[in-house]
């Protein structure tokens, strides 16, 4: 699918398209313009989206923490912290930006208008800036609904991972960045009675199949298979893989 040309002006048409992507109509479009204005093109840093990014980062963390606390009453603090660190990470925020195509509405300086995908750090920042803008314009309930709508599946996937890390998400980001491919998961075998099955799953990227893994559910087996693929890709530590996927 072809991407739109770079935004050179935040017209009412551009802002309306952004509102449609967000599922929210701003009462004050001035704050939406600021959220979409990168420091590379603003007259001063105070007129860029950096302050809104700062606010949005804090609001995002608070909403996710509250949701995890309520959703997983039996999980200890350490486990909730691990889940939260993935959900509010640069990788996840950038992924949401690209999924909603919010980067297509971002006003950037000429040096960043290369026609390709913007860096992960900038993509993550615009997501947080828009959260800050929506909070100021519509209040906490509006933002909470938006954040959970964007991240609900991610929260479930990360929570179901035994390590608290969504290896599938990391592998997908890395595969798309490095190979232009999306990983595919193959169920190779299953054992046990219907009420207690185990599944063997392998991940493939293009024509290459990676070592399979067993799990007590298809989702868990897929997470373990993704982890095996990351090991085979020799990206080093998991934090390194996350950073490579985001950059």
Distances (CA, A) of 34 to 28, 96, 97, 126: 11, 19, 17, 10
Q: Are 129 and 52 in contact (CB under 8 A)?
A: yes
Token pair 């606010």 is found at 55
pLDDT at 101 > cutoff 70: yes
CATH of the domain at 35: 1.10.1520.10
For residues 138 and 18, membership in a common domain is answered with yes
Q: What is the mean pLDDT of the chain?
A: 85
Q: Is residue 4 part of a domain?
A: no
Q: What is the pTM of this model?
A: 0.65
Token pair 């804090």 is found at 58
Question: In this predicted model, what pLDDT tens digit does every residue of 63-99 receive, in sequence order?
Answer: 999 999 998 888 888 888 888 988 998 888 988 999 9
For residues 221 and 131, membership in a common domain is answered with no
Q: Is residue 7 part of a domain?
A: no
For residues 215 and 146, membership in a common domain is answered with no
pLDDT at 157 > cutoff 60: yes
Going by C-alpha positions, the residue among 139, 131, 62 that lies closest to residue 96 is 131
For residues 194 and 149, membership in a common domain is answered with no
CATH of the domain at 173: 3.30.160.20
Token pair 């009462």 is found at 27
**Residue-level pLDDT at 111:** 66
For residues 103 and 35, membership in a common domain is answered with yes
Going by C-alpha positions, the residue among 153, 154, 168 that lies closest to residue 205 is 168
Q: Is residue 102 part of a domain?
A: yes
Q: Is residue 215 part of a domain?
A: yes
pLDDT at 201 > cutoff 80: yes
**Residue-level pLDDT at 42:** 75
Q: Is residue 40 part of a domain?
A: yes
Going by C-alpha positions, the residue among 226, 223, 199 that lies closest to residue 211 is 226
**How many domains does the chain divide into?**
2
The residues pairing with 204 across neighbouring beta strands, listed in sequence order, are: 184, 209
Domain region containing 24: 12-160
Q: Is residue 5 part of a domain?
A: no
For residues 25 and 52, membership in a common domain is answered with yes
The residues annotated with a catalytic role in the active site are: 57, 128
């Amino acid at each position: 699918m072809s991407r739109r040309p770079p935004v050179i002006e935040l017209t009412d048409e551009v802002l309306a398209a952004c509102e449609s992507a967000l599922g929210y109509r701003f009462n004050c479009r001035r704050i939406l313009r600021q959220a979409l204005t990168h420091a590379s093109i603003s007259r001063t840093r105070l007129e860029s989206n950096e302050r809104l990014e700062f606010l949005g980062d804090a609001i995002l963390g608070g909403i996710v923490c509250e949701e995890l606390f309520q959703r997983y009453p039996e999980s200890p603090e350490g486990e909730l912290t691990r889940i939260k660190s993935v959900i509010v990470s640069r990788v996840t925020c950038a992924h949401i930006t690209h999924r909603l195509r919010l980067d297509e509405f971002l006003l950037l300086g000429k040096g960043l208008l290369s026609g390709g995908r913007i860096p992960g750090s900038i993509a993550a920042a615009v997501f947080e800036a828009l959260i800050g803008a929506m909070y100021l314009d519509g209040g906490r309930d509006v933002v909470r609904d938006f954040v959970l709508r964007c991240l609900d599946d991610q929260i479930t996937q990360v929570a179901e991972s035994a390590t608290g890390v969504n290896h599938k998400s990391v592998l997908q980001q890395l595969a798309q960045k490095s190979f232009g491919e999306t990983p595919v998961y193959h169920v190779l075998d299953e054992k046990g009675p219907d009420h207690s099955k185990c599944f063997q799953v392998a991940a493939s990227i293009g024509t290459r199949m990676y070592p399979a893994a067993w799990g007590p559910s298809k989702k868990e087996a897929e997470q373990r298979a993704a982890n095996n693929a990351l090991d085979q890709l020799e990206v080093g530590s998991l934090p390194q893989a996350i950073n490579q996927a985001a950059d």
